[in-house]
Amino acid sequence: MRAIGGDVSLWPLLTASLIALACAYKEIDRGTAMAAGFAVAWALGTALIVGHSGPSFGWGPAIALGALTVAFARAIARRGLFAGDPTVATIVVVIAVLLAIFIFYPVAKSLLAAVFDAQGRFAPQVATQRLFTEDIWGLGCFGGGTRCGVAVNSAMLATIVGMLSTLLGLVFALVVQRGGRRYSGILKLMSILPIVTPPFVIALALVVLFGRTGLVTGWLDACCGIPRSRWIYGLPGVTLAQLLTFSPIAFMILFGALSAISPALEEAAQTLRGSRSRVFRTVTWPLLRPALANAFLLGFVESLADFGNPIVLAGNFEVLSTKIFFAVAGAQHDPGRAAALATVLLGLTLLAFYLQQRWIGKLSYVTVTGKGDGGLPGKLPKPLWTTCFSVAGLWIVFTLVCYAVIFVGGFVKDIGRGDMTPSFAHFVAGFGIAFDNKASMFVGSAWDSLFTTIEVAAISAPLTAIVGLLAAYVITRHRFVGRRAFEFLTLVSFAIPGTVIGVSYIVAFNVAPLELTGGMAILVLCFVFRNMPVGVRAGVAALAQIDKTLDEASSTLRASTLRTLREVILPLLRPAILATLVFSFTHAMTAVSAVIFLATAKYNLATVYVINRVEAGEYPLAIAYSAVLILVMLFVLLAMQLLVGDTRLGRRPAAALVTGN
Amino acid sequence: MSKMQGGVVFERVTKKYGSVTAVDDVSFEVAQGELVTLLGPSGCGKTTTLRMVAGLEAVTAGRVLIGGKDVTLRAANERDVSMVFQSYALFPHMTVLENVCYGPISMRIDKAKARELAREKLRMLGLADFENRLPSELSGGQQQRVAVARSLVLEPAVLLFDEPLSNLDAKLRRRVREEIRELQQSLALTVLYVTHDQEEALAVSDHIIVMNHGKIAQQGTPNSLYETPNSRFLADFIGDANLIDGELARAGEHASFASGGVSAPVRANGMEPGPATLAVRPQRLRVVDVAQGVVPGVCKRVAYLGSRIEYVVSTAWGELLAFDNELHPPRRRDDAVGIAFDPDAVIVLPR
């Protein structure tokens, strides 16, 4: 540890480490546990909470701290915690420590910035001022005239988007689920689009279509004399963009819920002399209500956290996520203000998640039973079907036009001004390759960021999968005190908006002892801990399919937990592992909100590069790059799908995975 | 039974889940080379007991000894037992041979030797031709035998079976249970077997432990449990029984049982006079003419099953079920009949 150098605060740490070592050697588990636990707590406490001005953490202290953590975990396992299983203890303790360092510590630290004034003095009254200003909570827009506060804007936008995206999702779900196999193409499209589309792409397309010089605007001006305006910048534009971006998510939820309603229920209602519309009203709709509430809240949360669309389209309509960004990155640089805004955003998000857990958890009707009921999904009442079909059709056309704009836009001179002369100029500017002295050179300005993005995504994806699946394994397969708390910890970062994480990382990791900003490591860490909940969920879902008796059989056959994990669980989890890899890879490539704070000139990311081009007004290059990003991710998705296809077990389908009853 | 070297000793074991007591102060022994069955209705704690022997559940209080050694605090992978699971729990991604080799390789026996051991057991169970198949490519009965081979290969001190027949169809069930018993006897295996099927338990066991509400209700040989149940629960649970509530009266050597105003001679078996329950197996009741019977009644239902005739007769003792295994000419519905029985063939239980 190179930090040792007369620093008095390090003596207790050193002493505790030595005691831990001695106890471990003598096999006094209680001593090891206490000393190692104290050492870890002391090190983290002095370094992170008290803060010291010493040099930054290097590999040495990191390894020493890791070793102490593992020693602590194994010692408490031998004392009887975690059912005496050292492997489980190690996994739980290590992940908990990592979450503490990379989620809870930065978020807490940055939110606390709200109670310090510009000179760094503790000043609670400043916090009150910051939190309760007209800027955040003002209701001026309803009375007429002045503007509303950002929190009100955000909440209003999120409510509108939540409701409309739920409605659209329902329309699509009804068409696809009740329309028969003909429309299953929509299902595929809707499930893939949100994964491969960076969050600002739709906004870009909308600007190209409806901006002041947009294609549609120009056409309307020419044919019908509707004057050009900037209506798209503001609430209508952001709403439209978020609807296009998030309604696929609502669709996926509602499609799942509709499919889970046993056809036998509707058939029963029909045989009880119910007309089509009566069956829909009295059976289908009530059973859908929990899913509708769920879809609404998810749309609400996604809209709150969205950064890509508002930064392109919001104009004077300010929302929390972009306001936080400008409070840190803009000319004003006011971390206290950013912290106050982040607190409000986090509060709104957590409130929505809380409602989801409390309210919907109790509402859900489980209609799926072990025995599969036969029967066909019922037909919709005629007027409802016609309405749904037309709305869905129009919306699909609109979506396709948006994507067409992206794919055409990169290859014409200036689609933003209606100049449709074919041109490769933007593509060359971004992705030009020069052949010089037999060596090819990546001279395009976008290459650096693309390579960095792929590198960061490729490094963080396997890490995310490992951490997420290990957490899922201990959560589903082992009973230990604090299991539910641990599960909550692993999933909670899902509820923290990216912007909040970004601000937090900037505040927390800008100074020693963990000086990470400006490097690539912080990008990787950010992705790993932000995407981990998805790995955990995928793992939990996959493990639920693998009968627990397999673990027990392995255990009674004298295998250690480690061997069970390696030989039984991991091979059976392969599909889930690949799914998590794909997800975290594509998510790392499309993320904007958190990393826009963390990317630097040296380690720039594709999405940040595109946003910067948009800010600079270079739409065509931004559009060309977006198209390339979408294609890269489609390619990755396809490649992974081929890989997964080969991992089916045996010559019969994978049904064998579910053994027992 | 004495504490024999290879067996299991379960000593005053209690298992609690929070405030719920699943197993309540249970003690029993499994002697070496014996097949002992834990029998009981679902939720009686029999599977929990088995899992505590395996080390898959921790005991709340008490001790578990295997082969004379206290293993109470040892994990499952450190105990000399192996288990055949209800679902078989064959690893779906491994071939039959890999499944059977799994245990020996866990014990760091080298691969070639492990394969040899595995093949030997597979041959013994008639699975030699299937070693390269995946479990999903085998029938239910074959999967079951692979599970047995996988457990046998470790030559454990105790072999545990958790409802091994419940995933098989009725015909196969009978054959497989005979195979298991045959294997156990020829290799002198020590086996602890869990089932909720009393017929299965009677067929395979040396000794049966009947559990109810987390406690041992009665234990003994199949014959003694069937013939001399010690409680209403036992009489009802093992085999069919007519249970009649009434009063036991005594006059010197002779005892009689009265219910609904009709009394009949019975053997008291040391029971004091007072409220009692009479348990009678249906095949011990004879349907005769009214004059020859002890209890008069009216024939309510008649079912001719080929191997026997089943009667339900309405009497002052309630509706009685009686089997006629001799296939006398069947009586008709609403015929007046009498019920007769041998006083030695009924059991008087405390009420």
Q: Please indicate, yes or no, whether residues B64 and B208 belong to a single structural domain of this protein.
A: yes
Is A596 within 8 Å of A307 (Cβ atoms)?
yes
| Same domain, yes or no: A526 and A604 | yes
What is chain A's mean pLDDT, rounded?
79
pLDDT at A532 over 80: yes
B37: left (phi over 0), alpha (psi -120 to 50) or beta: beta
> Listing from the earlier edge strand, what are the strands of the sheet with B81-84?
B81-84, B158-162, B191-195, B35-39, B207-212, B215-220
The answer to whether residue A426 sits within a structural domain is no
Quickly list H helices, A410-497. 425-431, 447-477, 483-492
Residue of chain B whose alpha carbon sits nearest to that of A573:
B93
Amino acid symbol at B277: T
Q: How far apart are CA A572 and CA A554, in angstroms?
A: 14
Residues B57 and B189 in one domain: yes
**A645-654: long-range contacts (C-beta < 8 A, 24 or more apart)?**
A647/A574, A647/A575, A647/A578, A649/B92, A649/B93, A649/B134, A649/B136, A650/B92, A650/B93, A650/B134, A650/B136, A650/B137, A651/B134, A651/B137, A652/B134, A652/B136, A652/B137
Range of the domain at A332: 135-367+380-417
Are residues A400 and A457 both part of a single domain? Answer: no
The string over A159-198, giving b where at least 16 C-beta atoms fall within 10 Å of a residue's C-beta and e elsewhere, is: ebbbebbbbbbbbbbbbbbbbeeebeebbeebebbbebbb
For residue B151, the domain's CATH number is 3.40.50.300
Instruction: Establish if A547 touches chain B: CB-CB under 8 angstroms.
Output: yes
Question: Is the domain of B80 the same as that of B175?
Answer: yes
Looking at CA atoms only, how far is residue A657 from chain B in angstroms? 6
Is B126 in the same domain as B212? yes
CATH for A644: 1.10.3720.10
A229-288 pLDDT, tens digit each:
778 888 889 999 999 888 888 888 888 888 877 777 777 777 777 777 787 787 778 888
Number of structural domains in chain A: 2
- B42 and A CB contact within 8 Å: no
Alpha-carbon gap: A585 to the closest alpha carbon of chain B (Å):
27
Examine residue B334 and state whether it is found in any structural domain, yes or no.
yes
As a whole number of angstroms, the distance between CA A332 and CA A517 comes to: 20
Q: Does B259 touch chain A (CB under 8 A)?
A: no
Interface check for A479 against chain B (CB to CB < 8 A): the answer is: no
Domain shared by A484 and A385, yes or no: no
b/e sequence B305-328, b meaning 16+ C-beta within 10 Å: eeebbebbbebebeebbbbbeeee
| A407 and A543 part of one domain | no
Q: How far is A148 from chain B (nearest CA, A)?
A: 53
* A650 neighbourhood in chain B, CB within 8 Å: 92-93, 134, 136-137
- C-beta atoms of B55 and A556 within 8 A: yes
Q: How far is residue A63 CA from its own chain's centroid?
A: 29
Q: Are residues B198 and B74 in the same domain?
A: yes
Half-sphere exposure for B335 (CA within 13 Å, toward CB): 16
Rounded Cα distance between A172 and A157, Å, is 22
Confidence of residue A513 (pLDDT cuts 50, 70, 90): low
Query: Where do the H-state alpha helices sit in chain B?
Result: 46-54, 96-106, 111-124, 140-152, 170-187, 198-204, 222-227, 232-237
Same-domain status, A167 and A241: yes
Chain B residue with minimum CA distance to A660: B87
Same domain, B303 and B223: no
B154: nearest CB among A557, A571, A661:
A557
pLDDT at A165 over 50: yes
Strand order in the sheet with B274-280: B262-266, B254-259, B242-251, B274-280, B347-350
Given B206, B232, B258, the domain boundary residue is B232
Range(s) of the domain holding residue B103: 8-232
Q: What is the pLDDT of residue B337?
A: 93
Pair of tokens at residue A92: 């739980």
Taking one residue from A and the other from B, the number of pairs with CB-CB distance under 8 angstroms is 102
Å from B111 to nearest chain A CA? 15
Confidence class for position A370, pLDDT limits 50, 70, 90: very low
How far is B229 from B238, CA to CA, in rounded Å? 8
Q: Do both B307 and B337 map to the same domain?
A: yes
Does residue A410 sit in the same domain as residue A559?
no
pLDDT given at position A657: 33
Nearest CA in chain A to B168: A660
CA–CA gap between residue A612 and residue A350 (Å, rounded): 30
In a domain, A344, yes or no: yes
In chain B, residues with a C-beta closer than 8 Å to the C-beta of A84 are 73, 75
Q: Confirm or reject contact between A512 and chain B (CB < 8 A).
A: no
For residue A281, being part of any structural domain is answered with: yes
Q: Is A433 inside a domain boundary?
A: no
Residue B71: name the closest of B11, B139, B152 by CA: B11
Q: How far apart are CA A117 and CA A111, in angstroms?
A: 13
Q: Is there a single domain that holds both residue A169 and residue A237?
A: yes
In a domain, A526, yes or no: yes
For residues B239-250, one letter each, b for 16 or more C-beta atoms within 10 angstroms of the residue's C-beta and e for the rest, the string is bebbebebebbe
pLDDT for residue A4: 42
CB-based contact B89 A652, cutoff 8 Å: no
The confidence score (pLDDT) of residue B1 equals 38
Residues B334, B288 share a domain: yes
Q: Which residue has the higher pLDDT, A120 or A404?
A: A404
Between A118-127, A555-564, A646-655, B268-277, the lowest mean confidence (pLDDT) is in A646-655
Which among B184, B207, B232 is the end of a domain? B232
Whether A180 maps to a domain, the answer reads: yes
* Shared-domain flag, residues A570 and A623: yes
Do A406 and A549 fall within a single domain?
no
Q: Hey, is the C-beta of B307 within 8 angstroms of any chain A C-beta?
A: no
Please report, in tens digits, the pLDDT of each residue of chain B (351 residues total): 344 466 899 999 999 988 899 999 999 999 999 999 999 998 899 999 999 999 888 899 999 999 888 998 888 888 899 899 988 888 888 899 999 999 999 888 899 999 999 999 999 989 999 999 998 889 888 999 999 999 999 889 999 999 998 888 888 888 889 999 999 999 999 999 999 999 999 999 999 999 999 999 999 999 999 988 989 999 989 888 999 999 998 877 788 999 988 989 888 777 888 899 999 999 999 999 988 889 999 999 999 888 899 999 999 999 999 998 888 888 888 999 999 999 888 888 888
pTM above 0.80, yes or no: no
- What is the C-alpha to C-alpha distance for residues B311 and B307, in angstroms, rounded to an integer? 13
Give residue A374's pLDDT band: very low, low, confident or very high (50, 70, 90): low
User: Are residues B132 and B176 part of one domain?
Assistant: yes
Q: Residue B260: inside a domain, yes or no?
A: yes
State both tokens at A536.
Answer: 């955990």
Decide if B140 contacts B176 (C-beta within 8 A).
no
pLDDT of A365 reads 53
Looking at the structure, do residues A410 and A497 belong to the same domain, yes or no? no
Is A400 domain-assigned?
A: yes
CB of B132 within 8 Å of a chain A CB? The answer is no
B3 in a structural domain: no
Domain of residue B296, CATH code: 2.40.50.140
Residues B154 and B112 in one domain: yes
Nearest CA in chain A to B73: A84
Q: Do A271 and A234 share a structural domain?
A: yes
pLDDT of amino acid A146: 65
Do residue B285 and residue B223 come from a single domain?
A: no
- Residue where one domain finishes, among candidates B205, B232, B259: B232
Angle between helical axes of A150-178 and A335-355 (0-180°, round to 10): 40
pLDDT range class, residue A658, cuts 50, 70, 90: very low
Three-state secondary structure call for residue A363: helix
Residue that wins the pLDDT comparison between B103 and A515: B103
Which residue intervals of A197-234 are DSSP H helices?
A: 201-210, 215-224
Same domain flag for B92 and B208? yes
Total domains present in chain B: 2
Amino acid making up residue A90? T
Report yes or no: B95 at the A interface, CB cutoff 8 Å. no
The answer to whether position A67 is within a domain reads no
Same-domain pairing of A204 and A304: yes
Backbone dihedral angles phi then psi of residue A584, each to the nearest 5 degrees? -70, -30
Across the interface, of B54, B136, B160, the residue whose CB is closest to A650 is: B136
